[in-house]
Structure 1
């Protein structure tokens, strides 16, 4: 999350540090108190009695054969059933039949795995309800543990190799994020707590842990924390208003409908809002850390910049960042909802009816609300960073009429340097260049 800014920032005045501590520490304590109050103490127990046993196995033989004819096949249609057909011989590696060879039918149907000799698969033992002593094995899916472990190891090694200690801290922050999600957010929602409240508290807890762990306990990080927290609250308010205005119920996906069958007490409308907040957190962290670091670097590079100049310069950087990040948000939601978007080409209804239906309207609301919160994070964080960075400077205080005027900075230094850089080398001919250099104070934003 965010960029790596390893150069130490200039020391923050003690008064500013005290104000930041007095602001951030109570917010952190309030987050801890809220997390303890919402922490799920009575975890929901899953009834494992209805789930069939699952064992590891290895495919040793595959025999395919033509499928038998379907008696009720329509006239002119295929005469055989949907394939593939045949048997698979599997060596059972776990369970009471470990070491034995068993035969299972070739997996068939939508989403069925394609197996070959040597594949490591998961077997499901099915028992005949009429005769509990009779059982059979079916292939459920492939074993994915080993390739996933190698992929995660490569992911972690690349981060540590590139980021070194900062990369290691980022991995620790990622582990903390998953720990909070798995031990607090998901169990809290499953236990019947308000999904919106749990998501806000969980996101704030993740933010405090990850930002300070990854970027260090500094004034710059504290500014990013305050900007992220303010934007998260705004995102929650906008999400509540948007879902109420569009009358979204949270039943816009098949997963939500299935969840309502297993856990009838889950607030799906609140779960929709919780997803918006959790999904926005990672991008908000990136934007706020970048804006705080940009202001700090600008002030370090040119201590003469005033508070307003710092704000305007860093905001121009933020505009460029937002322009690319908005596309990232929309494409992230589109990629996650690609099967839903494909319905646009398969549905016979008018496009306006499809776009305003629940399953697509909630994706539009997700993208719009997350983008609005992201845009608000730029001026909020930039203004806070400019205030903190310039605090205590004489240049931002009212001028003393009796004080001697500071010596003007020689203008020739910059001109001489630019002319030296543009001067042709000996033996070469300089290309034609425009007369004069652009105004030193003009905006770096270029026209489209």
Structure 2
């Protein structure tokens, strides 16, 4: 992993000419200073802007997004707060049927196009959400620390390191032209090692979880590579991937898709492998006489419950992310076969199934490794031969003989007492 990081470490993302499309455009922070109402009839009569400024954010009546003639439009004055044009103002017309309505005092993001005419250089593209997002992140951090205490603090540190690896290694290395699959495997391995050892400590238990996660990641990589190629998935299915391909045509988009599958599966894999390893260790603490077969059988029963919930969680997570797309197919009244065969949905199906196979496989693999490591401390012992433990029984050892005889003798004594009372 260290060698991979050293060899693939990028010198920074290569520069390119801005296209002015999507995220690849200059932007500045701005504030809506004034909003006044005016008749949409006058707006339409003047070609979308009675002041001659930029048309409405998100479209104007002049370009076919017909506003109601008798509705009230708004003219918003926006002040640029950052950049070389700080303090400059411009106006935009907001139609009543637009999804984004501007309000006085609202913080917004504006796009800047220097080659456009002066009165059309700026336009509102989004709302500035930094304050609510920062507050939500703060609440999340407080909750994690209050509940997890020192482990919660270490988890937040590991999360920060994961973002650093993603931003300073994985993304720039892919943009430089390195193989996305190799970059994803090396980066995911680094994230996994740092996160697991930092949160759970240097121990045999953590090492077993690491090994189980690595084996499952390799399986996911192999299956993903085979089925992405077999299903002829290009990875270039929307505006964002199309823009990436246009700016950096040397990037293997199908490899980028596979890299996403590996990184997306890593978080859930960590949860499964750590849980299974902890379950085996706790079973051993409850019944030290159990050998590796008994530990494996008891651990795998716990794992089956975990499999059912995790697979369902993964499928619902992908379905939730693709919900708008699924709604479009539903509106078009397309058959299930047609929907599943489209590349947009096929990508999500392959992503979900490959990740789920890796998750399911991680349970027996990690459980077997954990059972072998625990049993290695007590050579010659095994579950079927353990005193008081039947084959595959994960329950605690049989209670002492005195406790049994006391319980058995208690019932006759209770009966004799009742007879004496009568």
TM-score range, shorter-chain basis?
0.7 to 0.9
**2:87 matches 1:114:** no
Q: TM-score scaled by structure 1? A: 0.76
Q: Alignment partner for residue 354 of structure 1, among 326, 339, 359?
A: 339
Q: Structure 2: 5+ residue runs without aligned partners? A: 48-60, 386-397, 415-422
Q: Alignment partner for residue 61 of structure 1, among 22, 28, 34?
A: 34
Which segment drifts farther, 186-195 or 224-233? 186-195
1:83 to 1:395, Cα distance in 2 relative to 1, 3 A? farther
- SS at 1:303 equivalent: coil
The Cα of 1:147 is off from its aligned counterpart by 1.8
**2:248 matches 1:263:** yes
The Cα of 1:97 is off from its aligned counterpart by 5.3
Contact 1:354/1:360 (CA < 8 Å) preserved in 2? yes
**2:303 matches 1:318:** yes
- SS at 1:396 equivalent: coil
1:83 to 1:398, Cα distance in 2 relative to 1, 3 A? closer
Q: How do 1:288-327 residues align onto structure 2 when only pairs under 5 Å count?
A: 288-327=273-312
The Cα of 1:86 is off from its aligned counterpart by 3.1
Q: Alignment partner for residue 4 of structure 2, among 20, 26, 34?
A: 34
Q: Distance in 2 between matches of 1:262 and 1:284?
A: 33
Aligned-residue CA RMSD in angstroms? Answer: 3.3
Contact 1:104/1:139 (CA < 8 Å) preserved in 2? no
Q: Distance in 2 between matches of 1:82 and 1:113?
A: 20
The CA deviation string for residues 147-176 of structure 1, in whole angstroms up to 9 with x for no partner, is 222111111111111111000000011011
How many residue pairs end up in the alignment? Answer: 378
The Cα of 1:312 is off from its aligned counterpart by 0.5
The CA deviation string for residues 175-200 of structure 1, in whole angstroms up to 9 with x for no partner, is 11111111111111111111111111
Q: Distance in 1 between matches of 2:98 and 2:407?
A: 66
The CA deviation string for residues 95-148 of structure 1, in whole angstroms up to 9 with x for no partner, is 455456x3411345997632112212234445564x66x665432322222222
Q: TM-score scaled by structure 2? A: 0.80
Q: Distance in 2 between matches of 1:358 and 1:169?
A: 40
Q: Distance in 1 between matches of 2:69 and 2:246?
A: 33
Q: How do 1:426-445 residues align onto structure 2 when only pairs under 5 Å count?
A: none
Partner of 1:44: 14
Contact 1:84/1:107 (CA < 8 Å) preserved in 2? no
The Cα of 1:338 is off from its aligned counterpart by 1.6
1:412 to 1:329, Cα distance in 2 relative to 1, 3 A? farther
1:346 to 1:258, Cα distance in 2 relative to 1, 3 A? farther
- SS at 2:11 equivalent: coil
Q: Distance in 2 between matches of 1:322 and 1:360?
A: 24
Q: Distance in 2 between matches of 1:280 and 1:308?
A: 29
Q: Structure 1: 5+ residue runs without aligned partners? A: 1-30, 401-407, 425-448
